């Protein structure tokens, strides 16, 4: 199988200018439009990959006023790599897709499909892949560098076949390594994080991932090193209402619908993210996504057509952060960080408000995903190699 490689790329205004008309989404490290960012290195690393076919680049901006400029920048960068068979999906293609959804009488799903937010952007990518008739897709983020010419062939091993547990391998993830080849993210433990050992839990989960056997179900997914079979991505979408961590949330979605996310200990990619500008903002986003995931898991227990998922089954990560104690531990952590370390004022505000805001958000939005998912397979069936959209994406018209 020759997969379609999908690269979501996120852009922002020049560093010297503040955004004026921002999207609702907050991205970890979008690229300023007057810089090249990490995408060129990602593209260079793909050129020698064996079996590289079509590369779909989905362009999103955190300010609607620069969307077209961001698309122009991506076209310029791709022009430097004429050997890559690339397709760019931007605002014009988004408009065509939305109009086609209306024609198919799926206008009610448009809110979950846009160039605004991690989950929505990945859903756009899934829909574009269906239009292109992609049997298998591989997500690579724009801050990743492929570290082996056999990257795709390793990623395709086992796809569509039965795993030792008898389940088909329809969703598969590798893992991230740094430039030295390491995969640990935790540093020295801080006393103010006594209730929030997130990096330590993550590292324990990764150590389990890389241990034998090579291919096994796991609780993690790495969105920049993930393969999805048509039978998975045409049935299970990403959650549009998850602000961050949509890849790990996708593991929960897959499990709820009877599948598994398999981890491949032999499949990796080098992660080269720019520095995080605000740990407090990231913490706030994490509290929102973990409270939301806990609410979604609890709500799913009332749905007779879903496979039950528990926090225990997702241990050590994200299980430790999606149980009923997450709200209490988030408040304590924010309060402790407010008296130790940088961004104390931000953490003080988070301690006062974030858990209540996250719980309200979860109550208002978690049911929406289940209604969205039930309609998704029918929409994807209509979009598969759609004769109106496919020429638009491929440039044939």
Is the alpha carbon torsion for 191, 194, 196, 199 positive or negative?
positive
pLDDT in tens, 187-227: 788 899 999 999 999 999 999 999 999 999 999 999 999 99
Averaged pLDDT for residues 19-44: 80
Averaged pLDDT for residues 91-111: 96
Neighbouring residues of 90: CB distance < 8 A, sequence distance ≥ 6 = 59, 67, 68, 70, 71, 74, 115
Residues above pLDDT 70, as percent of the chain:
97
The b-or-e profile of 73-99 (16+ CB within 10 A means b, else e) is bbeebbeeeeebebbbbbbebbebbbe
Using CA atoms, how far residue 114 sits from 96, 288, 305, in Å, is 12, 21, 28
Q: What is the pLDDT of residue 19?
A: 45
- Global pTM reads 0.94
Q: Is the pLDDT of residue 351 over 90?
A: yes
- Which alpha helices (H) appear in the chain, and where do they start and end? 39-46, 67-79, 91-103, 118-131, 151-156, 198-210, 230-233, 246-256, 279-300, 326-337, 344-383, 390-394
How far apart are the C-alpha atoms of 208 and 370, rounded to whole Å? 30
pLDDT in tens, 142-169: 999 999 999 999 999 999 999 888 889 9
How far apart are the C-alpha atoms of 288 and 303, rounded to whole Å? 23
pLDDT band at 321 (very low <50, low <70, confident <90, very high): very high
Q: What is the pLDDT of residue 24?
A: 57
pLDDT in tens, 282-320: 999 999 999 999 999 999 998 888 999 999 999 999 999
Using CA atoms, how far residue 83 sits from 58, 80, 183, 244, in Å, is 19, 9, 31, 33
Q: Is the pLDDT of residue 337 over 90?
A: yes
Averaged pLDDT for residues 235-263: 95
């Amino acid at each position: 199988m020759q997969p379609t490689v999908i690269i979501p790329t996120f852009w922002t205004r020049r560093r010297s200018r503040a955004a004026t008309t921002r999207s609702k989404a907050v991205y970890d490290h979008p690229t300023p439009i007057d810089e090249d960012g990490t995408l060129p290195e990602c593209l260079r690393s793909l050129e020698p990959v064996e079996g590289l076919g079509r590369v779909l680049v989905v362009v999103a901006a955190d300010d609607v006023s620069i969307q077209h400029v961001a698309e122009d920048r991506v076209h310029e960068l791709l022009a430097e790599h004429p050997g890559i068979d690339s397709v760019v999906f931007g605002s014009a293609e988004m408009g065509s897709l939305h109009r086609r959804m209306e024609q198919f009488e799926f206008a009610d799903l448009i809110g979950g499909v846009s160039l605004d937010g991690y989950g929505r952007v990945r859903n756009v990518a899934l829909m574009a892949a269906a239009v292109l008739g992609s049997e298998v897709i591989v997500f690579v983020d724009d801050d990743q560098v492929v570290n082996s010419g056999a990257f795709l062939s390793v990623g395709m091993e086992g796809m569509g076949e039965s795993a030792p547990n008898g389940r088909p391998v329809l969703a598969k993830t590798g893992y991230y390594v740094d430039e030295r080849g390491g995969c640990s993210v935790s540093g020295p433990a801080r006393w103010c994080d006594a209730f929030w050992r997130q990096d330590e839990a993550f590292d324990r989960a990764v150590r389990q991932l890389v241990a034998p056997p090579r291919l096994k179900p796991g609780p993690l997914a790495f969105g920049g090193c993930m393969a999805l079979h048509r039978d998975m991505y045409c049935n299970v979408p990403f959650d549009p209402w998850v602000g961050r961590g949509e890849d790990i949330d996708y593991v929960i979605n897959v499990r709820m619908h009877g599948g598994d996310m398999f981890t491949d200990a032999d499949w990796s990619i080098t992660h080269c993210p720019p520095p995080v500008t605000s740990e407090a903002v990231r913490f706030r986003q994490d509290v929102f996504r973990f409270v939301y995931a806990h609410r979604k898991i609890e709500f799913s227990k009332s749905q007779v057509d879903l496979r039950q998922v528990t926090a225990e089954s997702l241990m050590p990560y994200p299980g430790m952060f999606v149980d009923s104690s997450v709200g209490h531990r988030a408040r304590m952590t924010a309060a402790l960080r407010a008296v130790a370390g940088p961004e104390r004022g931000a953490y003080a505000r988070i301690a006062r408000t974030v858990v209540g805001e996250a719980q309200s958000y979860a109550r208002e939005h978690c049911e929406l995903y289940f209604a969205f998912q039930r309609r998704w397979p029918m929409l994807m069936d209509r979009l598969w190699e759609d004769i109106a959209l496919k020429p638009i994406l491929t440039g044939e018209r």
